C-alpha cells in the first residue's frame, strides 16, 4: 500500500480542457488496458470516475505515442481535440520538449507548445467529401437536408454544425440526440450550435456523440470554425466561446490548429476488484 492505494491496481489521471474532462491512462510500455466494458464503467459519474472521453496512451513505431479515445457509453471516438492537447502537454512535460508527434485513428498529428505556454495541436485537414465525413449519401455538405440548414464536417469524427441566432435558446437535450441518430449519419454525429458574435468570435454549444452535453469539444470547435469560414461568416482564425471557456481555431495550409486551456486535476488508482468486475 502507498498512500492508501494498492499499487496492483491501474493508475490514471483526471484532466480537462476548458471543462471538457477526461480520464487518461498511460499504457506505454505494456499492453493496452482499456476495453469497451471498462470505458463504460469508468464513464459512470456515480459508480466510476466520470468523463466526457477516456484517452489511452500507447506506444507507436510511427510517432512519440498513440492515442485511443473512448466515449462514456463505451464506444470509440475517432478524434478528441481537447484530450489530445491535454495528453500532449503531459507528454511534452515528461520528455522535456516543446513538440511531439502522435497517432490517432485519424492518422499522424503534431502538437507544439507556443512561446506563451499554450499547447496547439494540428488536427489535420477537414474532411469535406460526403464519404469521408461520413454521410449516408451524396448531398451538399454545406446545406444538409435537415431542419436548420446545418453543415457537415469531418475531423476524424463526424460533425453537424448549426448556425443560430441565439445559441443559449437551443434545447440541446431534445435536438442533440435526434440529430446524433439521424439516418443521414451512419456513424452517428456530434452536433454543434453556433452563434456569430463578431467576424472573429463565435458562441458554441455542443452535444457530443456517445456522451451528451459537454462544456467544450475540441474537434467540434475545429469543425465549427471550418463551417463558419466556408459559409462566409468568419475568417480562417476564430475564437469560440464554449460553456467551459474559450478555444481558438486556426485553419492553416497544413491543417486545422486548435488551442485552449489544459489542466491536470489529480492522479488515482483503480482498485483490482473494480478492474476485475469491469474487464
Q: What is the pLDDT of residues 90-126, one digit of tens each?
A: 999 999 999 999 999 989 999 999 999 999 999 999 9
| Closest to 178 (Cα-Cα) out of 164, 193, 166 | 193
Query: Residue 134: inside a domain, yes or no?
Result: no
Instruction: State if pTM tops 0.85.
Output: yes
Query: Residue 65: inside a domain, yes or no?
Result: yes
| CATH number, domain containing residue 156 | 3.10.310.10
- Name 268's Cβ contacts closer than 8 Å, sequence gap at least 6: 5, 11, 12, 13, 14, 49
> Based on the domain organization, do 186 and 207 belong to the same domain?
yes
> Based on the domain organization, do 114 and 17 belong to the same domain?
yes
Tell me phi and psi for residue 183, to 5 degrees.
Answer: -60, -20
pLDDT digits (tens, 9 = 90+) for 32-68: 999 999 999 999 999 999 999 999 999 999 999 999 9
Q: Which three cell numbers stand for residue 142?
A: 454545406
pLDDT digits (tens, 9 = 90+) for 118-177: 999 999 999 999 999 999 999 999 999 999 999 999 999 999 999 999 999 999 999 999
> Based on the domain organization, do 42 and 73 belong to the same domain?
yes
Query: Residue 15: inside a domain, yes or no?
Result: yes
Query: Residue 135: inside a domain, yes or no?
Result: no
CB 267 within 8 A of CB 130: no
> Based on the domain organization, do 249 and 271 belong to the same domain?
no
> Based on the domain organization, do 118 and 15 belong to the same domain?
yes
Q: Which three cell numbers stand for residue 106?
A: 485519424
Task: Report, as residue numbers or ranges, the catalytic residues.
Answer: 80, 217
Residue 160: which domain range? Answer: 151-260
Q: How distant, in Å, are the alpha carbons of 70, 178, 188 from that of 133?
A: 19, 18, 11
Query: Residue 140: inside a domain, yes or no?
Result: no
Radius of gyration of the chain (CA): 18
> Based on the domain organization, do 79 and 157 belong to the same domain?
no
CB 72 within 8 A of CB 40: yes
Per-residue confidence (pLDDT) for residue 7, from 0 to 100: 63
Q: Which three cell numbers stand for residue 205?
A: 454549444
> Based on the domain organization, do 156 and 118 belong to the same domain?
no
Query: Residue 167: inside a domain, yes or no?
Result: yes
Distance CA 176, CA 169 (A): 13
SS3 138: coil
> Based on the domain organization, do 22 and 77 belong to the same domain?
yes
> Based on the domain organization, do 224 and 267 belong to the same domain?
no
pLDDT digits (tens, 9 = 90+) for 222-278: 999 999 999 999 999 999 999 999 999 999 999 999 999 999 999 999 999 999 999
Would you place residue 279 in the very low, low, confident or very high pLDDT band (cuts 50, 70, 90)?
Answer: confident
Kindly tell me if the per-residue pLDDT of 3 is higher than 80. Answer: no
Query: Residue 145: inside a domain, yes or no?
Result: no
- Domains: count for the chain: 2
> Based on the domain organization, do 165 and 232 belong to the same domain?
yes
> Based on the domain organization, do 73 and 170 belong to the same domain?
no
pLDDT digits (tens, 9 = 90+) for 180-220: 999 999 999 999 999 999 999 999 999 999 999 999 999 99
CB 207 within 8 A of CB 141: no
Q: How distant, in Å, are the alpha carbons of 10, 19, 37, 143 from that of 223?
A: 34, 19, 29, 15
Amino acid at each position: 500500500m502507498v498512500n492508501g492505494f494498492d499499487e496492483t491496481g491501474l493508475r490514471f489521471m483526471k484532466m480537462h480542457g476548458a471543462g471538457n474532462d477526461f480520464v487518461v491512462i498511460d499504457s506505454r510500455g505494456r499492453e493496452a488496458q482499456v476495453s469497451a466494458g471498462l470505458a463504460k464503467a469508468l464513464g459512470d459519474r456515480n459508480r466510476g470516475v466520470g468523463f466526457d472521453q477516456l484517452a489511452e496512451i500507447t506506444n507507436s513505431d510511427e510517432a512519440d505515442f498513440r492515442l485511443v479515445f473512448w466515449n462514456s457509453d463505451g464506444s470509440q471516438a475517432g478524434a478528441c481535440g481537447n484530450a489530445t492537447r491535454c495528453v500532449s502537454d503531459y507528454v511534452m512535460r515528461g520528455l522535456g520538449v516543446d513538440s511531439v508527434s502522435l497517432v490517432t485513428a485519424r492518422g499522424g498529428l503534431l502538437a507544439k507548445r507556443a512561446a506563451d505556454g499554450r499547447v496547439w495541436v494540428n488536427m489535420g485537414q477537414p474532411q469535406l467529401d460526403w464519404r469521408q465525413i461520413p454521410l449516408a449519401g451524396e448531398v451538399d455538405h454545406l446545406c444538409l437536408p435537415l431542419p436548420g440548414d446545418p453543415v457537415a464536417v469531418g475531423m476524424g469524427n463526424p460533425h453537424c454544425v448549426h448556425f443560430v441566432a441565439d445559441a443559449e435558446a437551443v434545447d440541446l437535450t431534445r435536438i442533440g440526440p435526434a440529430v446524433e441518430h439521424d439516418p443521414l449519419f451512419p456513424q452517428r454525429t456530434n452536433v454543434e450550435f453556433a452563434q456569430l458574435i463578431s467576424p472573429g468570435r463565435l458562441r458554441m454549444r455542443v452535444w457530443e456523440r456517445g456522451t451528451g452535453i459537454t462544456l467544450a469539444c475540441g474537434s467540434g470547435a475545429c469543425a465549427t470554425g471550418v463551417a463558419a469560414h466556408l459559409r462566409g461568416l468568419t475568417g480562417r482564425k476564430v475564437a469560440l466561446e464554449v460553456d467551459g471557456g474559450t478555444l481558438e481555431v486556426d485553419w492553416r495550409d497544413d491543417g486545422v490548429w486548435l488551442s485552449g486551456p489544459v489542466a491536470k486535476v489529480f492522479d488515482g488508482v483503480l482498485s483490482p476488484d473494480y478492474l476485475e468486475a469491469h474487464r
